[in-house]
Amino acid sequence: MLHQAELLAFGVLFRGVFHNLYERSYFPAPPWHGRVLTLGSAVALLFAALPFAFSLKQPEREPVPERFLARLAAMADRRPEQIFFFVPFVLLTALLGVEMRSGLVTLAWGIEAVAVFALALRAGERSFRLSGLGMLLLCVAKIVFHDVWGLGPRDRYLTFLVLGSALIGVSYLYTRYREVVRRYL
């Protein structure tokens, strides 16, 4: 069942990226067939499967195979929560990048990064925490190199305010949960 669920998660990823996000038409889809509803519900269901994937997590008992694909399959068997986190994380990031106005993409990604960081502190997963921090750093780089020059004044100020407060919030979470973060380093 685990392998079927992982295969289905990758199927949802490829369907979402290559059909739902890339779909081009002159005519808008009905609301119940739109990108936000279909991909949003798929992302929500994949995130809802995350607690079940954590319960299937196994400690390393066997030696790591030498071939790349065998090593990848062994990692998917031992750590299924990685698949059930990163597939919806990528889908949500791409959906926000496509659906948001160009001035508010950085803002949406920053809010997503803070939510992922808070989830990582709750779940105690180092890879989740690093992906949230990486996404936040990507937002800062996008502001410096792209948004400062291309945004209108209202979007620029809104992005600066929200991302600045997000950085302060993550800094606060790091200092408040210093012992928890040290355990996961």
pLDDT of the residue at 98 = 87
Say which residues have a Cβ less than 8 Å from residue 152's Cβ, sequence separation at least 6.
Answer: 103
Give the residue, 132 or 57, on which the prediction is more confident: 132
Residue 17's pLDDT band, with cuts at 50, 70 and 90, is confident
Instruction: For 97-149, write each residue's pLDDT tens digit.
Output: 888 887 788 889 988 998 998 888 888 888 888 898 899 888 888 888 887 77
pLDDT of the residue at 45 = 92
> What count of other Cβ atoms lies within 10 Å of the Cβ of residue 174?
15
Average pLDDT in the chain = 82
pLDDT of the residue at 76 = 75
| Separation CA 141–CA 9 (nearest Å) | 30
Instruction: For 58-109, write each residue's pLDDT tens digit.
Output: 776 667 777 887 777 777 777 888 888 999 999 999 999 888 887 788 889 9
> What count of other Cβ atoms lies within 10 Å of the Cβ of residue 78?
16
pLDDT of the residue at 69 = 79
User: Which of 4-13, 41-50, 52-61, 136-145 is predicted with the least confidence, judged by mean pLDDT?
Assistant: 52-61
pLDDT of the residue at 92 = 92
pLDDT of the residue at 93 = 93
| Separation CA 118–CA 124 (nearest Å) | 10
| Separation CA 185–CA 183 (nearest Å) | 6
Helix axes 105-123, 126-142, angle to 10 degrees: 160
pLDDT of the residue at 176 = 81
pLDDT of the residue at 90 = 93
pLDDT of the residue at 184 = 59
